[in-house]
Amino acid sequence: MTYDTAGGRGVAVRRPHRADARRNFDALLKAAREAFAENGANASLEDIARRAGVGIGTLYRNFPTRQDLFDTVYVGEVEELCRAADDVADLPPWDALATWLGRFVAYIATKRALSEALNRESEMFRSCREAIYAAGEPLFARARSAGELRPDVSFDDLVRMIGGIVGAGYVDGEQRERVLGFALDGVRARPE
């Protein structure tokens, strides 16, 4: 993995160059993400390898330690979240921000599943946080410039609010989406 310590959006997972090795690597990340979402940080490495359709040796060749796997899954989520900011940049300001925040919800779910395994004091974690803010703040600034946001809301306020909403218990995904919609409606500027 590489991390941009200058505060840019250069947080990235270093993938293998060979196509077959990259396919195995990506399959392991997908399987790990699913297993961690279902079972938390204690998910079985053997189960992850089985889900990915590879042997345990392939898992260890790519991720020598459990912590390497945790960190790579987490950085991969951050990488996708940053890419999502680029994907929505051409939408109208409010739509771009709201769509990106929807992807942020999925990121938070992975982060929560791995929370006990992540070192919040590490350079990796700090770089990831900086990358997330570097990706989301321009969308926030665009929505603010367009008059779409209340003037008293900061990007950090919004990130923390979404984190709290996602952490609450819900009957189902529809209820969570409804509550998220109420919260976003609360930070949107009202026409005079």
Q: Is the pLDDT of residue 23 over 70?
A: yes
How does DSSP classify residue 3? -
Q: What is the DSSP string of 4-68?
A: -TTSSS--B----SSHHHHHHHHHHHHHHHHHHHHHGGG--HHHHHHHHTS-HHHHHHH-SSHHH
Q: What is the pLDDT of residues 3-15, one digit of tens each?
A: 443 334 456 667 7
Q: Is the pLDDT of residue 2 over 80?
A: no
CA distance 55 to 59: 7
Q: What is the pLDDT of residues 144-158, one digit of tens each?
A: 999 999 999 999 999
pTM of the entire predicted model: 0.80
Backbone phi and psi for residue 12, each to the nearest 5 degrees, phi listed first: -150, 150
Buried b (16+ CB within 10 A) or exposed e, 52-72: bebeeebbeebbeeeeebbbb
- Asked if residue 35 lies in contact with residue 43, where contact means CB atoms within 8 angstroms, the answer is yes
- Predicted confidence at residue 11, as pLDDT, reads 61
Residues 6+ apart with CB under 8 A from 65: none
Pick the CATH number of 66-187 from 1.10.357.10, 3.40.50.1970, 3.30.360.10, 3.40.1160.10: 1.10.357.10
Cα–Cα–Cα angle for 86, 76, 30, rounded to 5 degrees: 115
What is the domain partition of the chain in residue ranges? 66-187
